[in-house]
Amino acid sequence: MDNSADLAVAQPGTYVRSPLSAVDPTVYELLVRQEQQERTTLKLIASENFASSAVLEATGSIFTNKYAEGYPGARYYAGTEIVDELENLAIERLKKLFGSEHANVQPYSGSPANQAVYRALLKPCDKVMGLPIPQGGHLTHGWAINFSGTDYRRVPYGLHEKTQEIDYDSLRDTAKRERPRLIWVGGTAYPRMFDYAAMAEIALELNAYLVADIAHISGLIAAGAHPNPVPHCDVVSSTSHKSIRGPRGGFILSRNEDRYQTVYHPKAKYNLARRIDRAVFPHLQGGPHMNVIAALAVALQEAANPSFRSYGQQTVKNAQALAQALLERGYDLVTGGTDNHMLILDLRNRPLSGKAYAELLAKAGIITNFNMVPGDPRDPAVTSGIRLGTPAVTSMGMREAQMMQVAGFIDAVLRRPDDEDLHASVRRDVADLCAAFEVPGIADR
């Protein structure tokens, strides 16, 4: 038979571990180009990071091959003894890391996790309170074009006009008037800490579920660099990547018992934890991605290491150093700074859009994303802001001194947007800076 590498089959019943370069040189070439890009650019997208080699190995492992619909001890496929042990391991590590009574590690990502939360807690057309996207919230917190804004009645809460931080007094007034059944606390572009205790007090007054979305800050919470919402919230949802440096997936934490079950679910057969599980499977998903769950278990083991605490603390220090350096250069920041891993440049008083500036920065090797700012006069497709984040550059080992350099690079590009020669020079300087640091998870070639 033809035993060429691209077939990856030597004889019936055997499998050749052919390198990707031989099986699919086109995909291999794209992989190499992506590695080169990540070696030589500053990854400043707040939602991106570098997974370790161990996490990547688990993601691409033989667990990819195994179907395991159901939950440990109650599967719909045979031969799941090992993956049962694996999923239980991930669950126990997750519960221990965040101090939660219950954990589900099967959601395919953060938005599906949030959808499961809705299904477990609410009925269609119930009122949901969340921070709108232009003020730093997430699509799934009640935005009009998302399922959360079409299947449920959305009640937005906002920011204080002067501080641009959450106005808890106004939030309480709105909540008392509208009586939402669920209140989200969390965001995708909010650079300050959340007051979970204040939110829990408001929710308790109204018999409302309080749900924290910690997709961005889960790693900071695990590192003790941000307050833990678990003691205050009924449910906590998250992605498993971003600041916690795991695979692309999601998880849900919750209490076991529903304190409002007699109020909202008097005929429910199951407690809160079981309703969460049933919302994930079988209501929304089929077979879990066991390779992703394996990689999550690895990432949680890494996050429990004392070195991860140092990483989380340094991520915040780096963001604050970058913010201060940009403020000193005359830039405006949403809320005037940051308490976490991200900062939002407010460029509404500058000639170009956030999108245009983000594209110029990318050409100079500085990878960011354009982002809306509170009161943004521009269309969401172009915006007036740029979001910057420090998880990835901190994973490379950069510290405050390098953030001073990064601020200088950003300033040079934004001040002279038409100077292509300058941008090319910055691109070379960025590559030189990156060359002095190791990129986690990328093997030498």
**Burial of 103 from C-beta contacts in 10 A (0-12 / 13-18 / 19+):** buried
| Domains of the chain, first to last | 62-303 (3.40.640.10), 309-435 (3.90.1150.10)
Which residues, including other chains, have CB under 8 Å from residue 167's CB and lie 6 or more apart? Answer: 157, 158, 159, 160
Write out pLDDT tens, residues 316-353: 999 999 999 999 999 999 999 999 999 999 999 999 99
Largest Cα–Cα separation, the chain: 75
Which residues, including other chains, have CB under 8 Å from residue 35's CB and lie 6 or more apart? Answer: 442, 445
Q: Which residues are catalytic?
A: 67, 69, 213, 239, 242, 248
**138 in a labelled binding site:** yes
Q: Which residues of the chain have pLDDT under 70?
A: 1-17, 443-445
Query: What is the reported pLDDT for 442?
Result: 87
First-to-final CA distance of the chain: 32
Burial state string for 191-215 with b = 16 or more CB within 10 A and e = fewer than 16: bbbbbbebbbebbeebebbbbbbbb
Query: What is the reported pLDDT for 10?
Result: 47
- Closest listed residue to residue 369, CA positions, set 350, 342, 393, 395: 342
**139 in a labelled binding site:** yes
Query: What is the reported pLDDT for 90?
Result: 98
Side-chain half-sphere CA neighbours of 177 within 13 A = 9
Query: What is the reported pLDDT for 130?
Result: 97
Q: Please say whether the beta carbons of 348 and 377 come within 8 A.
A: yes
Hey, how many other C-beta atoms are within 10 angstroms of the C-beta on 443?
8
**385 in a labelled binding site:** no
Structural tokens at position 118? 């809705």
